[in-house]
Structure 1
């Protein structure tokens, strides 16, 4: 997959000189609804013998429109994760447009001319709720007018599950509720967090449960605080573990939020390793215990519950 970063105004020589089917959207999470839109584009591209292109943005538009601080924006998928998911869906060209104030000021017709027509789009594919400006003048209904017959417009209807639209908002709500199986259903894959193993306070080791302290970017959206049955990828291999998102309140108030993983039957030193954590199943909320012994008893139960969960998953 070719990845092309565009900064407005872009240089025309950045654009491959071939017609494409262009799929439009922000695609945070690249969930099943997004996948339906991209797969629709892929099918059309194969029928027409064209390459499949996707256009997304480097950051959420609300950073420009609502002046949200970039470090306060929480994403389901990082750009790197988004790139991998797009490549897996068979995308040939991924355009990452820098969402700047100058780009945001484009009138709908100018956006269509410069970012659909001039990117050699024979067909533009989007979800039913895609906008490229104020929704009353820049929605999918108006797109054929702006197209002026220069490209075909295909709109993909909403994808539903259990009677409600599959959306990034719905996924975030399910994550906040700890309903990770529902999150997996909506995404079409188990939710993942990438990070680096760093030194912690080694308290887990003293308790007999040495944990990998995983440092994640501030822009990563984590599931709700609590303890989870997880999988963790270390050095290209997957292991089973129990993951904790919390403040370790048993050992004091006001502690920073941490991500820790106790890997079952694992004894390697992995400081500095890049890891991926899959949040398979929510076990329990974070609890403040009356001391180390009560915490150790609970951790032993968490370990049993984690092993049971993965055993049952294998048996299904």
Structure 2
């Protein structure tokens, strides 16, 4: 898959050299609903001998339009690209969502990023917009298309009669329901980060942990203890991870993400990691002292190992 990072207006060499099927959307998380849209576009491209081209943005439009602060993403740009590549897309465009780009009229957007991109088909979800929702949606697209392409609208994808959407998945991740979130994503949710120095309290308890600094734009799961897997230096390891405040010791550290990696004894400070959240085990508990905490950690470790073993 070819990946292009572009800024409006497109340069001549950034425009496809053959006719395309355009797949349109922001696709944060590339969840099951997004996957349906993307697969639809890829299948049409294969059927008609066209190039499948997915157009997305380098940031959420909400950051520009609504000036939303501290917006959290389900997928980094790198993760999004990897998930999209698995679905068979030929070309992936990340458009820099500048203020100037955001001021394009619906017709200007269609002219520049659909017709100019040699689209024969444009595929989008039922709720895809390319400007103000009431005038720039899939229903109004025919009036801007200049009859240059066919429009394919993918209907709402649901689970238990509820729309599968990035916002609802975020709500699940933040409310102890990572298992349900994983189901709607179609894969295990991930974060990326760096191993940093912590207080090394876990080592004194017999459960040494890697203290993880997660990317600041990434959504971190809710407070609690999880069965996880962590990738270090290209290799995956079973683990359990706590997201919490260290309430037993009242250490006032703020929220920390601490990962106990099973059967592992390496110095990995400052190394990049990827963590995969498999299952929510329990909430954070304040114990009267270290003995109660140690006993609980043994239970958590046993539960995690049993669950992770069953994934193999």
Using the size of structure 1 for normalisation, the TM-score is 0.95
Q: 2:97 aligns with which of 83, 87, 99?
A: 99
SS of alignment partner, residue 17 of structure 2 = coil
Residues 22, 123 of structure 1: 8 Å contact kept: yes
Equivalent in the alignment of 2:250: 252
CA distance in 1, matches of 2:38, 2:62: 23
Distance apart, 1:288 and its partner CA: 2.1
CA distance in 2, matches of 1:115, 1:132: 10
CA distance in 1, matches of 2:72, 2:167: 12
Distance apart, 1:250 and its partner CA: 2.1
Deviation digits for residues 171-216 of structure 1 (CA, Å, limit 9, x no counterpart): 1121122222211210110111111112211111111100111111
CA distance in 1, matches of 2:28, 2:310: 31
SS of alignment partner, residue 27 of structure 1 = coil
Equivalent in the alignment of 2:308: 310
Task: Could you tell me which runs of 5 or more consecutive residues in structure 2 were left unpaired when the two chains were aligned.
Answer: none
Equivalent in the alignment of 1:240: 238
- Mapping 1:195-274, distance limit 5 Å: 195-252=193-250, 254-274=252-272
Residues 240, 263 of structure 1: 8 Å contact kept: yes
Residues 191, 215 of structure 2: 8 Å contact kept: no
Equivalent in the alignment of 1:46: 46
Equivalent in the alignment of 1:18: 18
CA RMSD of aligned residues (A): 1.3
- Mapping 1:293-308, distance limit 5 Å: 293-308=291-306
Equivalent in the alignment of 1:163: 161
CA distance in 2, matches of 1:36, 1:20: 18
CA distance in 2, matches of 1:16, 1:135: 28
CA distance in 1, matches of 2:266, 2:61: 42
Distance apart, 1:304 and its partner CA: 1.5
Distance apart, 1:125 and its partner CA: 0.3
SS of alignment partner, residue 297 of structure 1 = helix
CA distance in 1, matches of 2:193, 2:122: 36
CA distance in 2, matches of 1:313, 1:233: 16
Deviation digits for residues 113-156 of structure 1 (CA, Å, limit 9, x no counterpart): 01111112111100000011111111101111110111111100
Residues 243, 261 of structure 1: 8 Å contact kept: yes
Deviates more, 1:59-68 or 1:75-84: 59-68
Distance apart, 1:312 and its partner CA: 4.3
Using the size of structure 2 for normalisation, the TM-score is 0.96
SS of alignment partner, residue 251 of structure 1 = coil
CA distance in 2, matches of 1:193, 1:293: 31
Deviation digits for residues 40-82 of structure 1 (CA, Å, limit 9, x no counterpart): 001100011111110111011111111123xx11000011100
Deviates more, 1:125-134 or 1:156-165: 156-165
**Taking structure 1 as reference, are residues 268 and 231 closer, same or farther at Cα in structure 2, changes over 3 Å only?**
same
Distance apart, 1:311 and its partner CA: 3.7
Any runs of at least 4 consecutive aligned residues in structure 1 with deviations exceeding 6 A, and if so which?
none
Task: Could you tell me which runs of 5 or more consecutive residues in structure 1 were left unpaired when the two chains were aligned.
Answer: none
Aligned residue pair count: 312
